[in-house]
Amino acid sequence: METVELHIPASPWTLALPLGADTRTYLYLILCLALSILACSHLLRKPTSSRPVLNPSGFEIIGLQRRIDFNNTAGGLITQGREKFPGKPYHLITDTCDLLVLPPTFAEGIRNNPDLDLTSTVEEDFHAYVPGFEAFRGGREDEITNMITEPLSRETDFALKQRFGVSNDWKEYKVYEEILDVVARISTRVFLGPELCRNEEWLRITKNYTVDSFIAAFVLRIFPRSLRSLVHWFLPQCRSIRQQLADARKLILPAVQARRKLRASVQAEGKVVPDFNDAIDWLDQEAKGDPYDVVSCQLGMSMAAIHTTTDLLTETMQNLAMHPELVEELRREIVEVLSAGGWKKTSLYNLKLMDSVLKESQRVRPAGTLVMQRKATRTTKLPDGSTLAKGQRCAVDSFGPSGMASSEVYDNPSAFDPHRFERMRGQPGLDSKAHLVATGPAHLGFGHGQHSCPGRFFASNELKVALCHLLIDYEWRFADGYTPKRMENGFMLGTDPEARILLRRRSQPEVELLGL
């Protein structure tokens, strides 16, 4: 698969960095930039530990071009570090911090360390203290449970017909854009229920906020932290996400208030409160009467789920286009499993080949080269007996020795083997590692330990429901002349957002999925 670099900041989904601003904004920026230069407090200090430093020249905070250059070369730096310091920790001076890069063998030892915090790293990098970035504030990491699959199936069928139609003629699509809309719709069905899952304004916000907030965060990082609380008011990128958050409040709060009023009314009448099976009810139940920002929570869930799920689903569709022999195997499995069990969680669990294809797609091209980013809240010990100073940040190299591309763990690791994890099912010592939702040092697609992705169980079900409908009801192939590409930006990897496929509705599907 060809690899290309996006000369853009912070997100593999972002296609442009809109830096236009009016004259007044430019004047404010020039003033703030001058203050930044005079402050001289913006230079990252070099590490004081005895561990090696990959890029000892450091990185200057001020300078947009240097930030963009770093994002374009970060992947190469990680490759150099892997080769220069195999299996050993080393410092990497990034555009945000001094980062201690750990090999995958450290993942097990740090996974539940209470002194290593995830939330503060996100809040620092994405300015959670600044208006508009509230969705990046630390919150609950509980898994969304008790979400049934039948509503997902119905919404998936509706969404696919909306985006791809019902024609039996081949038509070309930019697949990422179409799948993004589908995933936004079915995710919103679970997050916000039937009230908003087809609201076009909310769908626009939930698709755009992630990309726009990554851009805004990148631009704001040009300035020292001490000035960001002022500068953000004048940056057009920050103004944009503040407006999106305000628009989201106008949409979400009435729906939430109506739901709470209905719940209170039913309870007052002594009747059974209906179970809506969505995150509106789930968040209220978890809060137990404590106040919380429901809009930020909803945006945060959407931000964590929609683009990542779209990325893996699009990547899997491309892998199936490259391995068309898998399509019939998967269709047979779908028909056999769903015909016997219907739309139940146990049925999705039994889609073993599909689970393996998804997990292998994620292994070959995960969402990032560095995972498990943490910050030490106090001096703590690492698995090798060395210490991590308070305030030091660290992360794990997912592709390092014994990691996701290691020949120590996987036979022919560079090859896409769709049956790789299916073969592990039922084998002693391997079965627990074979599932898509399983985490471990050899497969860090969802992280590992207490801060591993809490939504991976929902994402797994969502991906399988979507693939069932796509495989049974549609067929696709690459558009003529298209070559699959992998996008690299900073430490993030992504599927090609420009990928084009030819797709059509199948005239004689093996089973009617909505009838199950």
Q: What DSSP string describes 291-338? A: ---HHHHHHHHHHHHHHHHHHHHHHHHHHHHH-THHHHHHHHHHHHHH
Predicted pLDDT at 141: 43
The tokens describing 438, both together, are: 């399983």
Query: Which CATH number characterizes residue 150's domain?
Result: 1.10.630.10
Rounded CA separation 147/374 (Å)? 30
Q: Among candidates 265, 263, 266, 295, which has minimal Cα distance to 281?
A: 263
Query: Which pLDDT tens digits describe the chain residue by residue (516 residues)?
Result: 444 333 333 333 333 344 444 545 544 444 444 444 444 434 444 555 789 999 876 544 455 677 777 888 899 999 999 999 999 999 998 888 899 999 999 999 999 999 999 999 999 999 999 999 999 986 544 444 445 688 889 999 999 999 999 999 999 999 999 999 999 999 999 999 888 999 999 999 999 999 999 999 989 988 888 899 999 999 999 999 999 999 999 999 999 999 999 989 998 999 988 888 788 988 888 888 899 999 999 999 999 899 999 999 999 999 999 999 999 999 999 999 999 999 998 999 999 999 999 999 999 999 999 999 999 999 999 999 999 999 999 999 999 888 999 999 999 999 999 999 999 998 988 888 999 999 999 999 999 999 999 889 999 999 999 999 999 999 999 999 998 888 888 899 999 999 999 999 999 999 999 988
Specify if 30 maps to a domain: no
Count the neighbouring beta carbons within 10 Å of the beta carbon of residue 328. Answer: 10
Q: Does residue 413 lie in a domain region? A: yes
- What integer pLDDT is reported at residue 449 of this predicted model? 93
19 in a structural domain: no
In a domain, 25, yes or no: no
Report whether 496 contacts 484 (CB < 8 A): yes
CB 236 within 8 A of CB 20: yes
Contact (CB, 8 A) for 86 and 379: no
Q: Is 453 annotated as a binding residue?
A: yes
Examine residue 16 and state whether it is found in any structural domain, yes or no.
Answer: no
Query: What DSSP letter does each residue of 435-499 carry, written as one string?
Result: STT--BTTB-BTB-GGGS-TTHHHHHHHHHHHHHHHHHHEEEEEPTT---EEEEETTEEEE-TT-
Residue 417 is assigned to a structural domain of this protein = yes
Backbone angles phi and psi of 514, in degrees to 5: -70, -15
Residue 18 counted as domain residue: no
How far apart, in whole angstroms, are the C-alpha atoms of residue 134 and residue 297?
Answer: 9
Distance CA 272, CA 24 (A): 58
Number of structural domains the chain divides into: 1
Q: Is residue 221 part of a domain?
A: yes
Range of the domain at 157: 52-505
